[in-house]
Amino acid sequence: MDYNQMFRERTKNFSILVIKSLSSLPYSDDVSVIRKQIIRSSTSVTANYRTVSRTRSEKERFAKLCIVVEEIDETQLWLEIIEELKYLSSDTMILLKSECEELVKVMTRYKFKLSQP
């Protein structure tokens, strides 16, 4: 499997994990807002990363990757909030935060590599 395909799958699996982890939470206004925001940001990572391999130029690839980095960073913020509010078990939080951190590292490294002349 090539790098792009591997991370297309990995970002998609991360989004699915976020959705499944939060779907069991009972409804409340605050949970609803947070759930909606983190699902949007995590699925945006997936959608925008998919387009990285289909871009027509290096500038377009860099721009899309910048969006990926912004969205994964936002996802990381929502995970921090969820953790502080103790909405999910510590085991679930460790899993989500660990994968998110790995994606942050990879995507920022990739973005930095593309920005070099």
Parse the chain into domains and list their residue ranges.
Answer: 3-115
For domain 3-115, the CATH class is mainly alpha
Question: How much of the chain is in helix, strand and coil states, percent to nearest 5?
Answer: 85, 0, 15
Res 1: pLDDT: 63
The answer to whether 12 touches 46, Cβ cutoff 8 Å, is: yes
> What is the chain's mean pLDDT, rounded?
93
Res 114: pLDDT: 73
pLDDT > 90: percent of the chain? 79
Res 53: pLDDT: 82
Check whether 113 has a pLDDT greater than 80: no
Helix (H, G, I), strand (E, B) or coil at 30: helix
Res 95: pLDDT: 97
Q: How many Å apart are CA 87 and CA 100, to the nearest integer?
A: 17
17 Cβ contact list (under 8 Å, min separation 6): 95, 96, 99
Tens-place pLDDT, residues 98-112: 999 999 999 888 777
Q: How many Å apart are CA 101 and CA 106, to the nearest integer?
A: 9
Check whether 117 has a pLDDT greater than 70: no
pLDDT, average across residues 64-73? 95
Taking the mean position of all CA atoms in its chain, how far away is CA 64?
Answer: 14
pLDDT > 70: percent of the chain? 98
